[in-house]
Amino acid sequence: MGIAQRYAHVRGQIDEVCRAAGRDPKTVKLLAVSKTVDVPTVAEAIAAGATAFGENRPDQLVPKQAAYPQAEWHFIGNIQSRRIKDIVPAATLIHSVFKQEHLAKIDAAAQAAGKVQDILVEVNVSGEESKSGLEPGDVRAFLEAADAFDHIRVCGLMTMAPRYDEQTVEITFRGLAELRDKLDGLHLPHHGQVVLSELSMGMSEDWQCAIRHGATIVRIGRAIFSDEFEPVA
């Protein structure tokens, strides 16, 4: 299978898992994580219908967004302060925000670009040391801090599950959904109600579980772009 076939195959599987879970497939966005492929290769996914891509490095995000401005480009990687000015103009949605000290820089870059930057708050639900993100108990204070900025809109939460342990994966995704339910509608002094409509969770190996727990964005790289990926049953 080539990239176009794998993209179509994954999208078809997502639609099936949605229907089995009683969800409308239109409520789940497939983010094609193109971080391992070059600029021309992205065209193969676009030809198959891909409309939204994820990148984890500004050096990849910026040229790919410039080459395919018709697509959405999401930033899903580690944020370095000095690269915020490059990330913001190119990013439809930044999934990986969890440091309060980045908020003022994101706000300033968004203002300079004449936009309101949509962001997700990255949460380390599993508590695994190698994972970045806020502890669930710190998310409320983060939302309160973000409320001070006119050019930032928090749209939801993002997490990564630890690999290869089904039970922890399930606990992680359920935990993010529960945290969203708890904080959604929170009333803040400046912007009013916080609407956390997006749950970004699920990757090549665990997206099925994420959809069953309410994911609205699944971030899938290898299952689309690698011919070596073997889906787990």
Binding site for ligand PLP (CB under 6 A): 33, 35, 56, 76, 160, 203-204, 219-223
Residue nearest to ligand PLP (CB): 221
Smallest gap, in angstroms, from Cβ of residue 137 to ligand PLP?
22
Smallest gap, in angstroms, from Cβ of residue 121 to ligand PLP?
14
CB neighbour list of residue 75: distance below 8 Å, 6 or more residues apart: 54, 55, 56, 58, 61, 87, 90, 91, 93, 94, 95, 96
CA 192 to chain centre: 24
Nearest CB to ligand PLP, comparing residues 194 and 223? 223
Smallest gap, in angstroms, from Cβ of residue 33 to ligand PLP?
4
Question: Helical H runs in the chain?
Answer: 3-20, 39-47, 58-67, 84-90, 103-112, 139-146, 166-183, 207-212, 222-225
Q: Which residue has the tokens 């997490």?
A: 159
Smallest gap, in angstroms, from Cβ of residue 38 to ligand PLP?
16
Nearest CB to ligand PLP, comparing residues 103 and 220? 220
Smallest gap, in angstroms, from Cβ of residue 208 to ligand PLP?
12
Nearest CB to ligand PLP, comparing residues 119 and 149? 119
Nearest CB to ligand PLP, comparing residues 214 and 221? 221
CB neighbour list of residue 129: distance below 8 Å, 6 or more residues apart: none
Nearest CB to ligand PLP, comparing residues 86 and 144? 86
CA distances from 56 to 17, 53, 87 (A): 27, 10, 10
